[in-house]
Amino acid sequence: DTAVSQTPKYLVTQMGNDKSIKCEQNLGHDTMYWYKQDSKKFLKIMFSYNNKELIINETVPNRFSPKSPDKAHLNLHINSLELGDSAVYFCASSPSWGSGHTEAFFGQGTRLTVV
Amino acid sequence: AQKITQTQPGMFVQEKEAVTLDCTYDTSDPSYGLFWYKQPSSGEMIFLIYQGSYDQQNATEGRYSLNFQKARKSANLVISASQLGDSAMYFCAMRGVVTNAGKSTFGDGTTLTVKP
């Protein structure tokens, strides 16, 4: 039973399109995140949510709009895709906002390729 | 703010030998956790080991141990008896409890290659 699951695993799309990535966790965690891993494998936080509320937005272009319908789900919608958006996007969760002493659980990643 | 530095972009080790992957950190948080993750070529992030900032003893998990030196702000990963399956990218990460709650900061990673 997958703890953090993302769909789709692969996404190939043309420039200018709009796409969504879905994430669900069945761990009962309060906090969820989106990370971007670029072609050089650098991992950077994009958004952090706590109990469905957006808490951290790390200067991500507003073409990226996360949505959390409930605390088990965190989706990422991307408008007007650009070549530079090509990356692997990871969803993750942790028990609570201040749980700095517990590992974050990662989804398997979504490899987005914009052509 | 918090920062993780991994100074070794790539490392090689002979099978069955031990290897140390370096990690230094900086943070303004009074309490924090340090983590190591493994990312094989298949792409998933696999949690390996955790060290709390107030832990007196170094963490160990099977063949993995974390050499934690708080005064030096270092949290090096030691892999003993390397196996071919250990070839992967390794990330050091940290997350605070107060100032830097809600986000893990990752280092740039170290690519480990285990030679037969």
| Residues of chain B contacting A, Cβ within 8 Å | 29, 31-33, 35, 37, 39, 43-45, 47, 50, 52, 89, 91, 94-98, 100-106, 108-109
State the pLDDT at residue A29: 94
Cβ–Cβ gap B43/A48 under 8 Å: no
Give the minimum alpha-carbon distance from B96 to chain A in angstroms, rounded to a whole number.
Answer: 5
Task: Name the residue among B107, B112, B111 with its Cα closest to residue B23.
Answer: B107
Q: Tell me the chain A residues in contact with residue B51 when contact means C-beta distances shorter than 8 Å.
A: none
Per the CB < 8 Å rule, is B101 touching A97? Answer: yes
Q: How confident is the model at residue B101 (pLDDT cuts 50, 70, 90)?
A: confident
pLDDT in tens, B48-81: 999 999 998 999 999 999 999 999 999 999 999 9
Say if residues A29 and A105 touch (Cβ distance below 8 Å): yes
- Which residues of B are less than 8 Å from A42 in CB distance? 106, 108-109
Tens of pLDDT, residue by residue, chain A (115 residues): 679 999 999 999 999 999 999 999 999 999 999 999 999 999 999 999 999 999 888 889 999 999 999 999 999 999 999 999 999 999 999 988 877 788 889 999 999 999 9
Sequence-separated (6 or more) residues with CB below 8 Å from residue A1: A26
What is the reported pLDDT for B99?
79
Q: At B102, is the pLDDT very low, low, confident or very high (cuts 50, 70, 90)?
A: confident
Contact indicator for B18, B78 with CB cutoff of 8 Å: yes
- Closest-CA residue of B relative to A110 is B43
CA distance B101 to A7: 27
